[in-house]
Structure 1
Amino acid sequence: MTATRVLVLNSGSSSVKYQLLDMRDSSRLAMGLVERIGEETSRLKHTPLTDGGASRERTEPIADHEAALQAVAEELAKDGLGLDSPELAAIGHRVVHGGQSFTRPTVIDNAVLAEIERLIPVAPLHNPANLTGIRTARALRPDLPQVAVFDTAFHTTMPESAARYAIDVETADAHRIRRYGFHGTSHAYVSRATAELLGRDPSEVNVIVLHLGNGASASAVEGGRCVDTSMGLTPLEGLVMGTRSGDMDPAVIFHLMRVGGMSTDEIDTLLNKKSGLIGLCGDNDMREIRRRIDEGDERAKLAFDIYIHRLKKYIGAYYAVLGRVDAVAFTAGVGENAAPVREAAVAGLEGLGLAVDGDLNAVRGDAPRLISPAGARVAVAVVPTDEELEIAAQTYALVGKNI
């Protein structure tokens, strides 16, 4: 029996998201979420996706990630999809930060674990949780290939002119300070899916990808390779986000320390958790912001206008970086669902060949689709992202040939 299944794990500090896929046809067999790990009110929601199975929930104390994965294994086993199945080919792990060390998916061994751990200072919120998930999964199935798929890997093709900051080179190198970029699995998937939507080979297509969720990032993709992206050393740089400030004069930090008397931790919290849309208007849900705008709320309107202004700046900047743009693709929660954001983002950019058709833009759906007028010079598309499928595909491409 050929093993064709891949379990995708996305381990957070107190959660584990998972999907089980069959790579013969990229179908999903099961998915779920364990949340509030370590609390009395831990919850596991498991959904089998074959034979019309109904979702199941467990609410019970789940002490740690080992207990969480054991619970996941139990739920999968109830559907005949247990972790001991000979059809399971590998486990693919989302790892947020791979630095310059990892430019592609990598089979995990002790040396890889040590390098991911060494990168914790540049990803203190994410890499420790990713490591916990990896170690737990390796203990459960030490015989099974485990693959790390890095958020940063897709962006390692950026030229040094885009990746380096203009600070002292020795200082930057000593502390690994450069633009790494994030959401890489999404940008990779969406840029390729956009080319497929256009009926062209990805190597022929230049795409600006706008991943707009609570976290938001843009990328300039030239012939399938990332040449620039908006997030930097951390996910704080770039677009206005749900709770993150995005681009800002670095001297604001010095001002807050010297004049505002704020500590480093307080400023970190301000810029990452109390800024962006929530800092501007008290809401980070675009649906709520649009509702408030419709009711005449000026603060919500200003927040929306600032969000769109930054988005337009990046579209224009990446148009200049690429020189020729074949498509602009909107993806993730806001990008896929907020028609007013898409309309406003390209309004006034007709001179660049960008426009949306109002009727097409209003249509909702789960499939990739064009929303630009027929014959438009630049295609504008909505392309639902699928990071789990991308992780599974990269994992299976690495280990499947050895099965």
Structure 2
Amino acid sequence: MKIVIINSGSSSIKYQLIDMPVNEVICSGMIDRIGLESSNLSYVTDSVKIEESLPIANHKIGLKKIAQLLMDEKIGVIKSTKEIQAVGHRVVHGGSAFSNTVIINEEIKAKIKQLIELAPLHNPANLEGIIVAEEIFADARQIAVFDTAFHQTIPVVAHKYAVPNFLLTENKVRVYGFHGTSHKYVSENAIQFLKANGVEDTSKIITIHLGNGCSMTAIKDGKSIDHTLGFGPMNGLIMGTRCGDVDQSVIFYLVKTLGYTVDEVNTMLQKQSGMLGLTGYSDLRDIESNAEKGNADCQLALAMNAYRIKKFIGSYTAVLNGLDAIVFTAGIGENSSYIRKLVCTDMDYFGLELDQAKNEIRSKEMREINTPSSKTKILVIPTNEEIEIANQVYNLLLN
């Protein structure tokens, strides 16, 4: 069964064509920096590797470019869209309506659209991906896999807010959690890796997903028990354009005293804050480059970013009552040795000892970057949300 996986992020599209159930990746690639002056595109098969920079204004243009490459006469991997039996879509927010993978119909699309207010940077891109895929792969089943599903195991003591009870019972206001496919994938791989390397206790793990969007999950016995993102994907860690945790009083001050409208505040906190608000750049590669050149704003922003991560490591170690391993993943977590170093510095109390040489190695392989004497394992595990989505799509259609 050939399945196309479309993972539309806030500023990127990752895609893979996978032959199931053997998990053979026929083609893979991504487009990032969507909406900026110059976007990056990659397209990789066994015999072809293309990397180019070109303007991609929005997700619709990006998805159509991907489809053209898949069916290109010279470098394509399919002759017709009829070869594709299913398209799996990552959808960020499923609210209380979705706790499982579902086949997409008009009712499902309407519910995803209703949830846009809870994930304004993501659900619109996810829905656009579905609509475009329905046009391009008209004969395929369209399947939605929700980021929130993995976090359904978060107990009520962690997912309930200290607000009037009716907001949960009637309006479903609670912590939902996000990046679930990523956290599920890397945590399962971490447990397998640790056991294969003779580690007996793998019950207490913190996964750290760092990209344009960022989140951390406390995982006990393979299940999510707490998570940094909540009702929407805006709180917790400092992100590319999102503020992360902020005192609610700031919002009231912006509206009542400074005269901002609610919509203006929402735009500010979602699209103009985070690393962009602190430095003028949303891409960490630009921020690290300028920090190395002495840019004080960039240096401070990186320190703030790592400081926030360290705070949650401490918090989640308390929740887990111990710590066996931390896992870095996603674009920044996998590639930024600088961020990993900042996070792991002065963390001796938690048993974290970073091997500086191992940390500097760039690799697409799962690896351990702690010293031999480190009590807590430090892992870098490339996430593969597409494989996780493909497995869920295949299992749904199989049953």
State the 1:292 CA deviation.
Answer: 4.0
Matched, 1:6 2:22: no
Correspondence for 2:17: 20
- 1:208 aligned counterpart, secondary structure: strand
Q: Is the Cα contact below 8 Å between 1:62 and 1:68 reproduced in 2?
A: no
Matched, 1:190 2:186: yes
Q: Residues of 2 paired with 1:67 and 1:330: CA distance?
A: 28
Correspondence for 1:97: 93
Aligned counterpart for 1:157 among listed residues 153, 158, 161: 153
- 1:148 aligned counterpart, secondary structure: strand
State the 1:11 CA deviation.
Answer: 4.6
Correspondence for 2:71: 76
Change (3 A) 1:95 1:294: closer
Normalised to the residue count of structure 2, the TM-score between the two structures is 0.86
State the 1:74 CA deviation.
Answer: 7.3
Q: Is the Cα contact below 8 Å between 1:7 and 1:90 reproduced in 2?
A: yes
State the 1:281 CA deviation.
Answer: 2.8
Q: Unmatched 5+ residue regions in structure 1?
A: none
Amino acid paired to 1:193: N
Q: Residues of 2 paired with 1:222 and 1:345: CA distance?
A: 22
Aligned counterpart for 2:50 among listed residues 52, 55, 62: 55
State the 1:152 CA deviation.
Answer: 1.2
Q: Unmatched 5+ residue regions in structure 2?
A: none
- 2:71 aligned counterpart, secondary structure: helix
Aligned counterpart for 2:222 among listed residues 208, 221, 224: 224
Q: Residues of 2 paired with 1:189 and 1:103: CA distance?
A: 17
1:58-102 deviation digits (Å, cap 9, x = unpaired)? 98999995995597167426335145445x342111111111222
Amino acid paired to 1:251: S
Change (3 A) 1:67 1:248: closer
Correspondence for 1:349: 347
Amino acid paired to 1:95: V
Q: Residues of 2 paired with 1:174 and 1:162: CA distance?
A: 18
State the 1:26 CA deviation.
Answer: 2.2
Change (3 A) 1:113 1:297: closer
Q: Residues of 1 paired with 2:61 and 2:283: CA distance?
A: 33
Q: Residues of 2 paired with 1:293 and 1:44: CA distance?
A: 23
Amino acid paired to 1:153: A
Correspondence for 1:370: 368
Q: Residues of 2 paired with 1:191 and 1:14: CA distance?
A: 25
Report which stretch shifted further, 160-169 or 106-115: 106-115
Change (3 A) 1:380 1:67: closer
Amino acid paired to 1:28: V
- 2:195 aligned counterpart, secondary structure: coil
Q: Is the Cα contact below 8 Å between 1:187 and 1:219 reproduced in 2?
A: yes
Amino acid paired to 1:72: A
State the 1:369 CA deviation.
Answer: 0.4
Change (3 A) 1:37 1:205: closer
Report which stretch shifted further, 230-239 or 190-199: 190-199
Matched, 1:123 2:137: no
Correspondence for 2:232: 234
State the 1:56 CA deviation.
Answer: 8.9
Report which stretch shifted further, 121-130 or 319-328: 121-130
Count of equivalent residues: 394
Matched, 1:265 2:267: no
Q: Residues of 2 paired with 1:343 and 1:63: CA distance?
A: 34
Q: Residues of 2 paired with 1:130 and 1:299: CA distance?
A: 33
Amino acid paired to 2:175: R
The share of aligned pairs that are identical, in percent, is 39
Report which stretch shifted further, 289-298 or 317-326: 289-298
Amino acid paired to 2:326: V
Q: Residues of 2 paired with 1:352 and 1:44: CA distance?
A: 38
Change (3 A) 1:372 1:185: same
- 1:198 aligned counterpart, secondary structure: helix
Report which stretch shifted further, 141-150 or 218-227: 141-150
State the 1:120 CA deviation.
Answer: 3.1
State the 1:226 CA deviation.
Answer: 0.7
State the 1:324 CA deviation.
Answer: 2.5
Amino acid paired to 1:389: I
Change (3 A) 1:362 1:119: same
Change (3 A) 1:369 1:43: closer
Note the aligned Cα RMSD (angstroms): 3.4
Q: Is the Cα contact below 8 Å between 2:354 and 2:371 reproduced in 1?
A: yes
